[in-house]
């Protein structure tokens, strides 16, 4: 018994060491992403700007032979443009954070490699914590936070592995992960302990794991939505003959087009929404087993439902004339804000049946 307790304590200390080590590597990845953005070529970005402002009519011209006229003439080619949101323009994606240069791409690849290493260290820390407490490592906010950031990074790396153009997410993602882990290790840390009887259920693995995954994907969608709003404003300014500042030109022109960003955020939010619905249903079933009632309007339950309504409203707005584009994007950000309050605000400021381990 004593030997087992000492082993678990050693594993808990190892978990802490691994989490702190991952933070150090994430910091290096953050610096590498900064170098990617700063040292990427501005000249190629400038050429992308020229493509954005090129009149669409010029790009649509085509030379054809007109029968019976004895010569050639220039006609407009019919174009079919699929837009992700109302009012978006048919413009090319930017060259990416590296600016399309070898030097910028090198630092970007270094940043991704460091992110992979940090992800492995953090994941090992989460697994060590699980072995130390001999349960799912989601019994308090510290454990939830470390697992959440691990899943968020893992999802981002999965998109990269699938050859998706998402490396521009790297810098905001690593920055957010560092903030998340900083808050977790500084203010939310809780010593490893066993769960109260109500939480000691196989539903913990089902309900909380899906909640963590949904939150990680919702986060990536929120980043894309925020970038869409900035890029859309930038494209509007160019289309209206405005002259953006040098910082905006250097940063925003490297991002995918507003249409691409809007499409990405919509697809990830729409894909994970059914799983969030399942998360709420699974939580209700678990509540029935633990407390003898499926729904009691507990603060966590209420805000989970508000979050569901927010994303349902976003998906409905994306299919409604007059609400596509920026209006729908604002709803998506509000919905993600509800998710964040459900996690941080309810756990810290509101007393509920879900408050077990302090934080």
Report the C-alpha gap between 234 and 254 in whole angstroms: 12
Number of helices (H), then strands (E), in the chain? 13, 2
Among 43-52, 85-94, 202-211, name the one with the lowest average pLDDT: 43-52
According to the model, what pLDDT value does residue 59 have? 42
Residue 212: phi, psi to the nearest 5?
-65, -45
Is the pLDDT at 86 greater than 70? The verdict is no
Length of the chain: 359
CB 261 within 8 A of CB 227: yes
- Average confidence (pLDDT) over 114-141: 93
Which residues make beta-bridge pairs with 61?
76
**pLDDT category, 349, cuts 50, 70, 90?**
confident
Tokens found for residue 146:
């470390």
Closest CA to 262 of 171, 173, 323, 172: 323
pTM, whole model, 2 decimals?
0.85
For residue range 218-235, what is the model confidence (pLDDT) as tens digits? 999 999 999 999 999 999
Closest CA to 97 of 86, 106, 87: 106
Mean pLDDT is lowest, of 14-18, 72-76, 195-199, 202-206, for: 72-76
* Residues sharing a CB contact under 8 Å with residue 329, sequence separation 6 or more, in sequence order: 85, 225, 228, 229, 262, 265
- What average pLDDT is seen over the chain? 84
Q: How many CA atoms lie within 13 A of 248 on its CB side?
A: 13
Q: C-alpha 348: how far from its chain's center?
A: 23
Check residue 356 and report its DSSP letter.
-
Q: 216 or 321: which carries more pLDDT confidence?
A: 216
């Amino acid at each position: 018994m004593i030997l087992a307790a000492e082993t678990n304590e050693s594993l808990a200390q190892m978990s802490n060491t691994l989490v702190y080590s991952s933070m150090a590597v994430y910091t290096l990845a953050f610096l590498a992403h900064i170098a990617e953005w700063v040292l990427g070529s501005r000249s190629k970005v400038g050429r992308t700007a020229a493509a954005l402002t090129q009149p669409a009519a010029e790009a649509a011209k085509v030379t054809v032979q007109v029968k019976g006229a004895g010569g050639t003439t220039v006609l407009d080619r019919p174009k079919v443009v699929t837009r992700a949101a109302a009012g978006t323009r048919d413009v090319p994606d930017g060259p990416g954070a590296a600016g399309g240069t070898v030097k910028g791409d090198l630092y970007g690849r270094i940043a991704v490699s460091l992110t992979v290493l940090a992800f492995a260290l953090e994941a090992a820390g989460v697994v060590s914590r699980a072995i130390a407490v001999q349960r799912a490592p989601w019994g308090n906010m510290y454990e939830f936070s470390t697992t959440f950031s691990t899943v968020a990074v893992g999802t981002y790396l999965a998109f990269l592995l699938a050859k998706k153009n998402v490396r521009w997410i790297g810098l905001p993602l690593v920055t957010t992960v560092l903030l998340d882990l900083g808050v977790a290790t500084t203010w939310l840390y809780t010593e490893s302990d066993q769960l109260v009887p109500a939480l000691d259920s196989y539903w913990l693995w089902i309900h909380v794991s899906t909640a963590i995954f949904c939150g990680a994907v919702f986060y990536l969608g929120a980043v894309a939505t925020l970038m869409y709003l900035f890029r859309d404003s930038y494209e509007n300014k160019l289309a209206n003959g405005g002259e953006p500042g040098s910082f905006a030109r250097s940063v925003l022109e490297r991002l995918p087009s507003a249409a691409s960003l809007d499409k990405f955020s919509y697809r990830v939010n729409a894909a994970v929404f059914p799983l969030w619905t399942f998360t709420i249903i699974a939580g209700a079933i678990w509540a029935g087993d633990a407390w003898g009632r499926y729904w009691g309007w507990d603060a966590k339950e209420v805000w989970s439902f508000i979050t569901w309504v927010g994303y349902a409203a976003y998906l409905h707005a994306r299919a409604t004339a007059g609400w596509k584009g920026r209006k729908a994007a604002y709803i998506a950000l509000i919905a993600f804000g509800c998710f964040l309050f459900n996690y941080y605000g309810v756990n810290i400021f509101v007393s509920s049946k879900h408050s077990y381990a302090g934080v």
